[in-house]
Amino acid sequence: MILSTWNVNSLKVRLPHLLSWMEGNSPDVVCLQETKLEDAKFPVAEIEALGYCAIFSGQKTYNGVAILSRLPATDVQRGIPDFADEQRRVIAATIAGVRIVCAYVPNGQAVDSDKYRYKLAWLSAFSEWIRQDLASYPNLAILGDYNIAPGDEDVHDPAAWAGQVLCSRPERDAFDKLIGLGMKDSFRLFPQAERSYTWWDYRMNAFRRKMGMRIDHILLSHSLCDRCTRCQIDIEPRKLERPSDHAPVLAEIRLES
């Protein structure tokens, strides 16, 4: 079972990239962030034509998340339970016995901004929800754009980014809190190339110069980690014309038959 996540930065613009990427990589589950589409405008027909079902929670202009799946998705949850939030950032469902959580964590803009405080409050509520959900779903995966670089090795210039948004101690503590609940960063289960990133600024030829950040992650519960055979970032779509600024991340899980 191949799980994947991709911040597409507008599904309307990126739909051709997404469809060809799905054809080339045959993921079983695709978690999308920043679809920027109202639900009425979601490209259901194009997704279904590839043999996938789609569940989504979107809004105009900003945010928006979706899960595409070959197998049926049940027990769909939109948003963090008991956390009032206008912003469409979370959708979760059970697929083939695995609880899939698709998340678009707030960016935070700048440390000490209102958006940063919203990010930390959001992460706190999210973490509490995951803590409870892990008791019900031992096979749990959280895929998405965390907007957190977990360590300095995930940042092209750690000195310049020290203490900045995406790298600050409270954000990394929030990430570590998820780990402490019984999750692992599947990317670090395997040897990886240095300067492995999932996001590069559109400006300054950042991608070509390998000036990026690893902020999109697939966290797996321990029981799923035991069956994870690979996790990798696919930088190929970032090379296309009019790319998303994020690259997709994939993890493969060996499911018992």
Partner DNA sequence: ATGGCTATGTAGCATAGA
Which residues have a catalytic role annotated?
104, 145
Spatial CA neighbour of 2 closest among 229, 248, 253: 253
Q: How far apart are CA 110 and CA 30, in angstroms?
A: 30
Among 88, 156, 217, 246, binds DNA (CB under 7 A): 246
Q: Is 257 in the site for DNA (CB under 7 A)?
A: no
Asked whether the beta carbons of 200 and 207 are under 8 A apart, the reply is yes
Tell me how far CA of residue 156 lies from CA of 106, 144, 202, 235, in angstroms.
21, 20, 15, 16
Asked whether the beta carbons of 21 and 248 are under 8 A apart, the reply is yes
Among 23, 61, 84, 257, binds DNA (CB under 7 A): 61
- Site track for DNA across 142-181, x = CB under 7 A: ---x-x-----------------xx---------------
Q: Is 203 in the site for DNA (CB under 7 A)?
A: yes
Helix (H, G, I), strand (E, B) or coil at 247: coil
Minimum distance from residue 8 beta carbon to DNA (Å)? 9
Q: Which stretch binds DNA (CB under 7 A): 21-29, 47-55, 129-137, 197-205?
A: 197-205
Minimum distance from residue 180 beta carbon to DNA (Å)? 24
Asked whether the beta carbons of 144 and 35 are under 8 A apart, the reply is no
Q: Is 255 in the site for DNA (CB under 7 A)?
A: no
Q: How far apart are CA 144 and CA 173, in angstroms?
A: 18
Residues in contact with DNA by CB under 7 A are 7, 9-10, 12-13, 34, 36, 60-62, 106-107, 109, 115, 145, 147, 165-166, 199, 201-204, 213, 215, 242, 245-246
